[in-house]
Amino acid sequence: MRSDTPSYRGYRFPPEIISHAVWLYHRFCLSFRDVEDLLEQRGITVSYEAIRLWCLKFGPEYARALKRRQGRLGDTWHLDEVFVTIQGQRQYLWRAVDQDGDVIDILIQSRRDRRAAKRFFRKLLKGQGSPPWRLVTDKLRSYGAAHRTVMPSVVHNTEQYENNRAEVSHQPTRQRERQMRRFKSPGQAQRFLSVHGVIQNLFRVGRHLLGAAHHRELRGRAFLVWHEATGA
């Protein structure tokens, strides 16, 4: 096993089963109990609590390995924020996607003021290593203030409808939020969505735009990357 893959020492189940359970949970809109049933149907008896612990332990490790392999994403960043209610409190999910719809990063914050926007911009720059060619946002003034401070040389577009790509990217989050009966804490939402976005990037190959043979080829490549990252 390569040195940069997760260590499964001390776990009763082999890497193939653990990584498959984590993949099922993050790839599809399933609960831990759903994953438990799917594994049971294949003769693998494991509790939903064990699956939850696997996702908590290995999900972030898989996401880090996948991020190293995906490298830098596109040079046009679409940013948007949407509110999520967590324990009765309004929080804001900041999300950035590139021109291909791949999730660059997310950040849960309690505010959407200039300070929060600057924090998100700096997180994006740290993760991508350099600023984009173009930044697309809505007309929230916090974006303009953060843009002038953090990356003033980048083209900033706030035209109506230009940011539909970022707004649409929130739909999978809303689906999972409903399925999970809302997130339990800001930290739990941050952990889950950070892993969820990276895994969705890998397996979102645009089936409706491809022929069957090309789609199978890209899907096969995605599974190869997944197996390399998980060591399964």
**pLDDT lower than 50: segments of the chain:** 1-2
CA distances from 151 to 106, 119, 155, 156 (A): 18, 12, 9, 10
Using alpha carbons, select from 137, 136, 133, 138 the residue that is nearest to residue 154: 133
| Tokens at 77, concatenated | 């960043």
Dihedral angle sign, alpha carbons of residues 172, 174, 175, 181: positive
What domains can you pick out in the chain, each with its CATH number?
15-70+203-230 (no CATH), 76-184 (3.30.420.10)
> What's the pLDDT at 190?
96
> What's the pLDDT at 30?
95
Beta strands in 67-152 (DSSP E): 76-86, 89-97, 103-109, 134-136
Query: What's the pTM value of the predicted model, to 2 decimals?
Result: 0.90
Do the beta carbons of residue 19 and residue 230 sit within 8 Å?
yes
> What's the pLDDT at 113?
95
In this structure, what are the phi and psi dihedrals at residue 107, rounded to the nearest 5 degrees?
A: -155, 125
> Which residue in the block uniquely carries the two structure tokens 């490790």?
61
Beta strands in the chain (DSSP E): 76-86, 89-97, 103-109, 134-136, 155-157
